């Protein structure tokens, strides 16, 4: 599937119009329900094809952020053979009490995987949490870059950021 066709397919599958409150607290009339494209095996596979090209050389672990980053990280792991971990917003308070579920991340080069980035707030929190667990975190990949503010916040904090699509690229379809 060509990139432009993937953009159209994501738009046709997941774009909603209405009034939506975003995690950042902002309100938007355009919304992409990420679970609609993440639950579609054809689209998820195509997204993983394109995003896999963005994974930095030397990446040892893909860290899918709860909840939308998890299916993308899983698809990327299957495509590339790079192990994935699943990162909670907060370490669970029972059982293993882990923040990152899966293989050990201590001392490993970890690339954060997210679905949609608006301000990057949760990514910044999770990156710090992963670093406190001993991970080396310098890179973030996402499917949809909703606002420039997210890129600015991530890059200002020293994270390299790449997105498959910017919101305006999807809205032209």
Annotated binding site for orotate: 118, 146
Sign of torsion, CA 114 42 45 5? negative
| Tokens 């953009």 belong to residue | 7
Of residues 76, 144, 79, 143, the one with CA closest to residue 110: 76
Q: Which residues are annotated as a binding site for 5-phospho-alpha-D-ribose 1-diphosphate?
A: 23, 88-89, 92, 114-122
Distances (CA, A) of 100 to 64, 90, 92, 139: 9, 9, 10, 17
107: left (phi over 0), alpha (psi -120 to 50) or beta: left
Q: Which residues are annotated as a binding site?
A: 23, 88-89, 92, 114-122, 146
3-state secondary structure of 84: strand
What does the CA dihedral 94, 99, 102, 107 come to, rounded to 10 degrees? -130
């Amino acid at each position: 599937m060509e990139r432009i066709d993937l953009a159209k397919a994501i738009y046709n599958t997941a774009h909603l119009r209405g009034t939506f409150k975003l995690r950042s607290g902002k309100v938007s009339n355009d919304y992409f329900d990420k679970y609609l494209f993440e639950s579609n095996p054809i689209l998820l596979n195509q997204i993983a094809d394109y995003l896999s090209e963005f994974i930095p050389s030397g990446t040892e672990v893909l860290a899918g952020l709860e909840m939308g980053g998890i299916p993308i990280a899983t698809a990327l792991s299957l495509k590339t053979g790079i192990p994935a971990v699943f990162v909670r917003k907060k370490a669970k308070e029972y059982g293993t009490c882990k923040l990152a579920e899966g293989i050990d991340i201590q001392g490993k080069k970890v690339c954060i995987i997210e679905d949609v980035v608006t301000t990057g707030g949760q990514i910044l929190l999770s990156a710090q949490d992963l670093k406190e667990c001993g991970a080396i975190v310098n890179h973030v990949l996402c499917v949809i870059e909703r606002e420039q503010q997210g890129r600015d916040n991530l890059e200002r904090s020293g994270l390299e950021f790449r997105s498959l699509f910017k919101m305006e690229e999807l809205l032209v379809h």
